[in-house]
Amino acid sequence: MHTPTDEQAHAVDAFQAGHHLVLQAGAGTGKTSTLGLLASSTQRRGRYLAFNKDIARDAATRFPRTVLCKTAHATAYAALGHRYTSRLNSPRQPAWKTGQALGITRPVRLGDHEISPRVLSHTVLRTVTHYCHSADRTLARHHVPHLRGLNTPSGHAQLAHEVVPFALKAWADLYNPDRGVVRFEHDHYLKMWALTEPTIEADFLFLDEAQDTNPVLEEVFAAQRDHAQLVMVGDSAQAIYGWRGARDVMTSFDATPLTLTRSFRFGPLIADEANRWLTLADAPIRLTGTDTIPTEVGGLDRADAVLCRTNIGAMAEVMRLLAAGHRVALTRGGQQLAALARAARDLKDGRRTSHPELVLFPSWGELQDYATHDPAGRDLQPFVDLVDTHGPDAILSAVDQLTEEQHASVTVSTAHTAKGREWPTVQIGNDFPPPKDTDQHDAQGLPIPEPVSDTDARLAYVAVTRARQHLDLGGLSWINTHPTSRAQLTDHCQSSRR
């Protein structure tokens, strides 16, 4: 451990003074090391709530034994979720079949619209998902998603009148630990645990990756305030899981605000690139690189890692690199993808598959519909697109040629999966599109593009800050000519000089 920076020393002092803390920690700024300093500064017993299993395992090797490191789901599973083991990981089935088992058998007429049993079933399950991500104690009308054509208050009220009774029935079904008609997910027992208003036995509690916390976990964490010192840590600019129900809870948390802004991962050039995206995302921090770390920004013939925006882009990059003769690794491996590809081949050939998650689908068309329209199948959409683009045989051939990461010459990953990782050299994949052009034109008659969205800026920030030594902007190079970026960067540089 290097000599603590002034920011880290300040964090230790504030922690020892007993303050609740919210710590904005930029990419590579020693977040885990700082938490280790906090934990080592006291003999009290603590808990660390990690974002995923890998982070929890790593933290357990770096924190003193007085700190128990687990994910929130593992904590909820130990307390309550283990009762539902027999229902977890059951086969997937289309929502309309689940709806049928719940009693959704006939269409519903709402004004000029007829809501089919299939749409009603989808909406019921989405309502349960929204409820599970919320901090609300009871399932209510506002958890019902809006449907096009029923966006008015009266239209949505009519829809909720039909949906809520079935959603309540689905939630009641999930409480049976032995059997039920609704597929049981990990978020279900997390919500059930939260509803028990649990007390987490600890003198202090660290919540990591707080920018990606669901309201349900935020409520559990905040409820420990009276008996435990709370430390919320994360990076608001890395809030990239909003589509999964997460939201950045750091900016509104009632605690002493602190920052970590010096990155030990890279030097000033990559820090400048990161700050360009932080400016576009209107983030609360800017980074300072470490002068003694030599870094470059520019083209690369071959990078240690290629980071893509989508799973489809990642697989296309894998195929391109394999064709060029490289030894390629795909983060999270390819065996699950291979099993799904074999299942897809069976379904496309008119055969049932034995794949445990897809065994209930009679055809590829049914799976396509499930992935496109069913909220529970949203995670399968990139795979379906991949099969439709390349075919299952091409995917299987590519997976067979993949190499373990420690033996690969290049690793391919999505930016989402790369979060928390770093490599010496990084190239950005070609599937990061620039903002679309508007109808307006500049003085030279060229179309003026739309501003860079917060979502795209945050994902780009995550991607460019994975490099330690050399960054190739690749598919993000369009930012060099984007007018909004130039104007905001100029303003930021001028304010920095002042």
Which residues in the chain land under pLDDT 70?
1, 148-149, 242-248, 333, 356, 359-360, 376, 485-498
pLDDT of residue 293: 95
Question: Which is it for strands 296-297 and 467-472: parallel, antiparallel or unpaired?
Answer: parallel
Contact 426, 470 (CB under 8 A): yes
Dihedral of alpha carbons 263, 269, 272, 273, sign: negative
pLDDT of residue 497: 45
Beta-carbon contacts of residue 492 (< 8 Å; ≥ 6 apart): 275, 279, 286
pLDDT of residue 213: 85
Amino acid at 278: L
Contact 304, 425 (CB under 8 A): yes
Contact 478, 302 (CB under 8 A): no
What pLDDT, in 10s, does the model give residues 343-359? 999 999 999 887 767 76
Beta-carbon contacts of residue 163 (< 8 Å; ≥ 6 apart): 120, 123, 124, 127, 144
Q: How many helices (H) and strands (E) does the chain have?
A: 18, 16
The DSSP-derived string for 29-75 is S-HHHHHHHHHHT--S-EEEEESSHHHHHHHHHHS-TTEEEEEHHHH
Contact 479, 459 (CB under 8 A): no
How many beta carbons lie within 10 A of that of residue 181, not counting itself? 17
The neighbouring-strand residues paired with 21 are 231, 256
Q: Measuring CA to CA, how many Å separate 198 from each of 229, 254, 373?
A: 16, 20, 35
pLDDT of residue 304: 97
Nearest CA to 296 out of 324, 270, 260 is that of 270
The whole-model pTM stands at: 0.79
For residue 258, report the phi and psi dihedrals to the nearest 5 degrees: -135, 160
pLDDT of residue 267: 97
Helix axis angle for 381-390 and 311-323, nearest 10°, is 40
Contact 231, 206 (CB under 8 A): yes
